Amino acid sequence: MPRARVSTGIELEYDVFGEATAPTIVLIMGFSMQMTAWDREFCESLAGRGFRVVRFDNRDVGKSTKLAHAGFPDFPRAMQGDRTAAPYAIEDMADDVAAFVVALGVPAAHLVGVSMGGFIGQEVAIRHPGRVLSLASIMSSTGNRAVGRANPTALAVLLAPPPPDREAAIDHAITTWRVIGSPGYPFDETAARERCGIAWDRDHDPAGVARQAAAVITQRDRTADLAQLRVPTVVVHGASDPVIHVSGGQATARAIPGARLVVVPGMGHDLPRQVWPVVIDAVVDNARRAEA
């Protein structure tokens, strides 16, 4: 797969679907997840609606640059709100994405971010508004600790240390998805195991994931800056999300002028195949609104 240099020492691995001349959608994945978490069929379906769809590995996961020199974060300080405890911030990851858009050969793109990817997409729109045609913030929040709080059970499974070997790691991932996934839809364990195996084989770097976690923990409250955005925005959130409560999505939609809120019944902190039509329609309708 191709790689794009976005700053000194940082390259992002990516994959492209659709026609090269079509409007570009950049998919931004969430915490610890590689670009392969964007299902290939999902990407192809979105591309089939007339877009060039790009998925990529954020810094510190997958095949993108690892910041091993930054070491392991100081989590006690990070949990106390000390932003200097994190080797980098969500803002830095947003700068990666803004530079990535330019590297793709376009002045601006439609951004679609899930969970941490939503945090990143929001920051791109704030810091680099000229690079954003439209924004879709999915299962995400504003950075305000008063909204979007995680269910304790979901938080516990997410914070559990990852097993060191492939099969145990896949089993742990399946347990995690059963806790945080969508209760309104059947869980496809076979497909989930396949995705987890692919992710393990591409990369398994706990230190990189820890650095991303520190960025999430120390993220700032973006509410005031979101109120200044003038970019077409859709906010999609699961009504049953145990990781980021639906109040996080509601707060995001309230903060951004003109944002449309889509709450999906039965959806948790994942994208089961059954919700793809709703999510894809929301993303495409928002992008068309921007183009109009």
pLDDT score recorded for residue 50: 98
Which of helix, strand or coil describes residue 83? helix
Number of domains in the chain: 1
Domain that holds residue 173: 3-291
How much is the pTM?
0.97
- pLDDT confidence of residue 292: 85
> SS3 breakdown of the chain: % helix, strand, coil, rounded to 5?
45, 15, 40
Cα–Cα distance for residue pair 284/204, rounded to 1 Å: 33
pLDDT of residue 259: 98
Count CB atoms within 10 A of the CB of residue 189. Answer: 11
Q: What is the pLDDT of residue 10?
A: 97
E strand or H helix at 263 = strand 260-264
Q: What is the pLDDT of residue 162?
A: 82
CB 221 within 8 A of CB 195: no
pLDDT of residue 167: 96
- Check which CATH number belongs to the domain holding 45 and give it: 3.40.50.1820
Q: Report residues of the chain scoring pLDDT below 70.
A: none
Q: Which of 4, 56, 3, 54 is nearest to 30 (CA)?
A: 56
